[in-house]
Structure formats: C-alpha cells, structure tokens
Amino acid sequence: MTQETLSGPNIRNRYFDSLCADKGLLWMGQNTNHIPAHPAVEEAMVASIRAGEFNAYAPPLGFESLRRAIVDDLDVPGEAIVTEGGVNALAMVVRARCRPGTTFVTTDPTWKWPGLMAAQMGAEVIELPIWDPQTRFRLTPAQLAASVDSRTALIYIVDPNNPLGVAYTRNEIAEFCEIARGSGALLIHDCTYRDFASDHTPALRIDPENAVCSTSFSKWLGLAGMRIGALVVPPKLVEEFAPLSTSILGASVVAQRGAEAGLKVKSEWMREVRRINLANQERIRSAVEATPGLSLVVWPSQANFLCIDTTASGVRPDALVEAYRQHSIMIRQGTYHTKRFGDRFIKVSTTVPEEWGQRFTDLLPEAMEAARSLDNVAAQF
Ligand SMILES: Cc1ncc(COP(=O)(O)O)c(C=O)c1O
C-alpha cells in the first residue's frame, strides 16, 4: 500500500512502526521510562517465561498476591482489578457508566483517550480549560462545580496532569470528591503519575465509596510495552465493573510477575528514578531558560515530563518535533493532547538515561533553528 491509499489507523500505525524500527531512537515523547530495569523485575519476568507460565491464562482479575500488593501500595480501602494497562482500566469504567444523555467531565488539556471512549459510548464530553497561569494551570473546585449536574456520569481527573505536570492537594481532591458525590457522578482519579509527585492523595482514601483510582506500571516501573495496570475500586463496584473488562482472560502473566517484583523493590527503585528524573528536568530547565522564546509552563513538574511553551519563539511545536525526529529523538507535539491549546507547546519525557537528557539539550539550539524552516510536516500522532 502506498501512503496515499493507507487508512488513518494504518498511517498512525506506520508512524509508530517506523519509530520502533529506529533502534537508536531516544523515546522522550510518551512519558515512558527508559532507565535500565531493576534486576529483580527483569529476573521475575525471565523466570516466568522460562517456567512457561505464559502457556496459561492469568486469573481474570489478576493474581491475588498482585491485587493485594497494588491496594497496599496505593494504601486505600478498595479492591484491584488488574488490566492490560491503565487504559483498559479507564475503558472499563467508561463502558460501565457512559450512555447517551450522560456527560463526562474532564479538563483541557487532559489525557484524551477516556474522553474519546466516552464520546463513542454516546456521552457528551465537557472539557474544562485549565491553561491559565492565574489558576496555576489547575482545575478549580468552583469551575468543576459549575459544570456538573444530574446528567454527569463521570468526572475524570488526571493527577498529576498529563501534559501539564501539576498535582492536586488533598483538599482539592476532597472538594472534587464532594462535588462528584453531590451530583451523583463517579470520580475517576487517574493516578498514573502519582509516584513522581511530592504529595499525592488517592481519592479513594477520601471517599471509599464514590471514587475509583486507575494506576499503571508503564511510567514508574518502565513496563509500557508489557501492558499492565489496574483499576482500584470500592469492593461493592467489582461486580459492576469486572464483567465489562475487555481483559476477561486476564492480563499478561509475565507482566504481572514483573509488576509484583517491582512493587517489592519500589522504594529503592523510585529513589534512583526520581534522582535521574530530577537531574534531567534541571538540565532541560536550564536549556529552556537559555533559549529565547521558550519557557516552562509549570515548574517544578510533579511528573516525569516537562511541558515547554513555544509560542513566543515563533516555532511551531510540530516543526520542532519533526526537527528532533530527524535526529532520532521522539518528543510530543501539544496537539496530541488538545486542539484548543495544542499549538502552544511540546512535551519532553524525563525518565530517561541522563545521556539522553544531555543529547536533547545539546541539540536544542540546532533543532530550533531547523524547525523555523520546516514546512509541511508529515502527520504526527
Ligand atoms: C494519564 C494517563 N493515564 C493512563 C495512561 C495509560 O497508561 P497504560 O500504559 O498503563 O495503559 C497514560 C499513558 O500515557 C496516561 O498518560
């Protein structure tokens, strides 16, 4: 098939396939973690493969030991449903609650996929703009309260927010919980990046009956390609949600073994991951500050990425992404996240080896210059 005859999904697939085919690519666009794995995690997965555990399906809700470990780690009253990535945890809730006549309320920017799924289920998606220095790029309880009503099925809060890197306080989460409860909506607290935040309170700890938390092993542990995450829910909701999981035959056995090993070494592992993350963020911050027209949207970031405002530079985010791609570095264009604000920023992941962070900053002046003359950039996803 030529490029012209390819369908949208195939064009998107070729885009990622060509990135994967570049063996020297520096993955700095998807908030994935490329710090070499903890030996205990690698060993657990290799041992599982060697034992041929992959010949059988896992239990549908996950190995009991992993389910317990996830709940203990989150430290909430709840039960875990292990899924193939956090994305499927979120899909399960959307399938359960969204219908024509309901609304799905989230922020703009946010992580877009749950909203797209909600629209597919017939819900009206309400995106509340939070790109505002006056509110420090965060959703305010008043803004949320003004946008929910008896039709609201789900409130979806990504905390820390992807792509902004802001995190909410315990009090803010408590207010979001109260607003959700008052309108009869369920609060989804997407906790994918919580391990990078200096302070984080899962909503289930505040409201053990009317909130759910989605978690992921992709970002803190580096298992993105293994597809493993979880939905943690009040026990009474397991019966409602579990039948709607598309992972009815369980999540990857090998990934679950790696995830459980990761939870056992988490404090040691995260100490090192946080150190590297911060070092990369400091390095990129200095380079951004030295570049006319670039600025960090939020500092300090509470996640493993930085959101960089390009507007004052006159360089288009997609052109800068393409300039870096030509040097085998993947960073993310803002339009991946948001139509409304997408032409204002790029996003750079920082859980990568420090040499990668250095390479990104070394190339910044050259990439900015090259981006100025890049027109007709091919589609990005
Ligand atoms: C906010 C948010 N939630 C969920 C996910 C999905 O994570 P997973 O790889 O566990 O499916 C991502 C991935 O980028 C994300 O940014």
Distance separating alpha carbons of residues 344 and 330, to the nearest angstrom:
18
First to last CA, the chain: 20
Q: How far is the CA of 168 from the centre of ligand 1 (A)?
A: 18
Cβ pair 110, 156 in contact under 8 A: yes
Compute, in degrees rounded to 10, the torsion defined by CA atoms 217, 222, 225, 228.
Answer: -10
The CA distances from residue 209 to 70, 116, 232, 256, in Å, are 18, 26, 11, 27
Q: What is the largest CA-CA distance in the chain?
A: 57
* Protein residues with CB under 6 Å of any ligand 1 atom: 31, 85-87, 111, 158, 162, 190, 192, 216, 218, 224, 229
* Ligand 1 atom nearest to 89, measured from its CA: 11
* Residue 249, token pair as written in the block: 């035959």
Q: How far is the CA of 88 from the centre of ligand 1 (A)?
A: 9
* Ligand 1 atom nearest to 161, measured from its CA: 1
Q: What secondary structure letter does DSSP report for 131?
A: -
Q: How far is the CA of 118 from the centre of ligand 1 (A)?
A: 16
Cβ pair 4, 326 in contact under 8 A: no
* Ligand 1 atom nearest to 86, measured from its CA: 10
Cβ pair 76, 99 in contact under 8 A: no
Q: Best of 162, 166, 256, 351 to mutate for ligand 1, by most ligand atoms within 8 A of CB? A: 162
Cβ pair 97, 154 in contact under 8 A: yes
In this structure, the chain runs to a length of 381
Q: How far is the CA of 36 from the centre of ligand 1 (A)?
A: 20
Q: How far is the CA of 372 from the centre of ligand 1 (A)?
A: 32
Confidence (pTM) = 0.97
Query: How would you write the pLDDT of the chain (381 residues) with one tens digit per residue?
Result: 555 678 889 999 999 999 999 999 999 999 999 999 999 999 999 999 999 999 999 999 999 999 999 999 999 999 999 999 999 999 999 999 999 999 999 999 999 999 999 999 999 999 999 999 999 999 999 999 999 999 999 999 999 999 999 999 999 999 999 999 999 999 999 999 999 999 999 999 999 999 999 999 999 999 999 999 999 999 999 999 999 998 899 999 999 999 999 999 999 999 999 999 999 999 999 999 999 999 999 999 999 999 999 999 999 999 999 999 999 999 999 999 999 999 999 999 999 999 999 999 999 999 999 999 998 899 999
